[in-house]
Amino acid sequence: MFIGRDAELRMLEDAYRSAKSELVIVYGRRRIGKSALIRKFAENKPHAMLFEALEQEHTDVQLMHFSTQLARYLAEPLLKDASFKDWEQAFDYLTRHAIQQNRGKEKRIIALDELQWMAAGKNTLVGLLKYYWDNHWKQANCMLILCGSISSFMIRHVIRSKALYGRAGLELNVKGLYPYEARRLFNTGVSDEDALKYLLIFGGVPKYLEELSPHKSFNQNMNALCFSKNGVMVNEPAKIFHSQFRQPGTYVKILKHIVDRGYCTAKEVGLHNGIPSGGGLSGYLENLLHADIIMSCAPFGKPRSSKLVRYGLADEFLHFYFKYMEPHRDLAALSRTARVFETVTKSGFDSWLGFSFERFCRKHAGHLADIMGFSDTVARAGPHFGKTDRHFQIDLLYKRTDNVITLCEIKHVNSALSPTVIPAVESKKKLLSIPRGYTVQTALICLYGPDNALEHSRYFDHIVTLKDIFGEIK
């Protein structure tokens, strides 16, 4: 079932309907739904050819697979058993028998999916694509889509490459589903509370959410997917690290330190792992950022170049994996019951969900601003913390172009909130150095909203509930 992606489909459709040939770059982490997005876009379009590469195969295997797919599109069965000697020969054949034959017809779509595997990790293929785009495909009413799941390759060798510089009319960084989109993946029998817990653990990754059985409870799904011998999520972290990175062990060590500390500076990461700042540390962190595995936070009011920038784990599932799954792998393998999840989360899980909800709100700050009605005025959004703070003093602040600072109080509690929350917010206000001419507003983000007393106090300027989070913005 295809859900959401309305904005992405609209941008792809605009490129398709333009009066000229278009080069489009699509990238994002594995399992995020890039291929499904391209297939949905190309659906019912008469001249679409989608080529998908094979993971971690050599060039000769990739060429054979390409010829098999091309044979199907061109209805030439003999081509299926042929083998191109190199990519130049393959693109020559594609140009003569598909692209040049398309003149005068609707735009021809050529999608090369998992480009990093097609290129066998090298950037020479990108230079060849530049040649064919400049000399053949751009003049032939063509839409070329280059798609990849190793973001570091796509950014360094495609988006920032000198070969393709200035040629892409559209770059799509595909992220997780919005909360209201992900909610539609669950049947109506799943409560909003369970839907939120799924998102706090699996994020908005469509492939992960599609693995959930609608006929099982939350606990049953968690045991089946994460704590059974053949659970589909058990080995997912290993697949992430080994498909994305050449030195997976180093990246795991970096992430474990970040998880243990919550948030830490690049200097702290380097010292703990014995990686000097000039010894590749920035490259490791940049690759993790490109892969959407970590996020960076600058103190509110400080530039992104500040040495006070902290790094935290952004991938929801890896948070859960390092906290609950990895330390209990033996228990999950040996247990004869189907209730390992209940055992390992017996204590502290509510607290973990609370911190996860805070991360969720920071990650979806744009969506929350939409709900509160000021997304078009947001100049900056993020946490507030000092130089020596181990935790954020304020989890989410917005600085707005209409001279308003919006301070958000985030609470993950299973009841309506009373006026007892007000003193904590007032204390946080005192931490802020308010620019001259700015007004401070307050927002409450929680599951069930205020009780009658807090609502009648009219203390908060904005209130966002779980129902609002899962509601579609009109």
pLDDT digits (tens), the chain, 474 positions: 788 899 999 999 999 999 999 999 999 998 999 999 999 999 999 999 999 999 989 999 999 999 999 999 998 887 877 789 999 999 999 999 988 876 667 899 999 999 999 998 677 899 999 999 999 999 999 999 999 999 889 999 999 999 999 999 999 999 999 999 999 999 888 999 999 999 999 999 999 999 999 999 999 999 999 999 889 999 999 999 988 888 899 999 999 999 998 898 999 999 988 887 766 898 999 999 999 999 999 888 777 778 889 999 999 999 999 999 999 988 877 766 678 999 999 989 999 999 999 999 999 999 999 999 999 999 999 999 887 777 889 999 999 999 999 999 999 999 999 999 999 999 999 999 899 999 999 999 999 999 999 999 999 999 999 999 999 776
398 found inside a domain: yes
Strands 439-445 and 168-173: unpaired
Q: What pLDDT is attached to residue 472?
A: 79
Q: What pLDDT is attached to residue 336?
A: 67
Q: Are residues 247 and 160 in the same domain?
A: no
CATH number at residue 150: 3.40.50.300
- Expressed as residue numbers, the domain containing 309 is 236-346
How far apart (Å, rounded) are the C-alpha atoms in residues 442 and 460? 5
CATH number at residue 283: 1.10.10.10
363 found inside a domain: yes
Tokens 């899962």, located at residue: 470
Counting other chains too, the contacts that 64-69 makes at CB distance below 8 Å and 24 or more residues apart are 66/90, 66/118
Q: Are residues 254 and 137 in the same domain?
A: no
Reference 199, options 349, 364, 34; nearest CA is 364
Q: Are residues 145 and 289 in the same domain?
A: no
Q: Are residues 324 and 378 in the same domain?
A: no
Domain count, the chain: 3
Q: Are residues 268 and 164 in the same domain?
A: no
Q: Are residues 307 and 380 in the same domain?
A: no
How far apart (Å, rounded) are the C-alpha atoms in residues 1 and 76? 32
Q: What pLDDT is attached to residue 104?
A: 67
88 found inside a domain: yes
Q: Are residues 17 and 139 in the same domain?
A: yes
> What crossing angle do the helices spanning 236-244 and 248-261 adopt, rounded to 10°?
120
Q: Are residues 367 and 329 in the same domain?
A: no
CATH number at residue 376: 3.40.1350
Q: Are residues 310 and 413 in the same domain?
A: no
Q: What pLDDT is attached to residue 440?
A: 97
Q: Are residues 339 and 364 in the same domain?
A: no
Give 3-state DSSP helix, strand, coil % of the chain, rounded to 5. Answer: 50, 15, 35
Choose one of 314, 346, 378: the last residue of a domain. 346
Q: What pLDDT is attached to residue 278?
A: 67
Q: Are residues 396 and 423 in the same domain?
A: yes
Q: What pLDDT is attached to residue 474?
A: 65
Q: Are residues 64 and 159 in the same domain?
A: yes
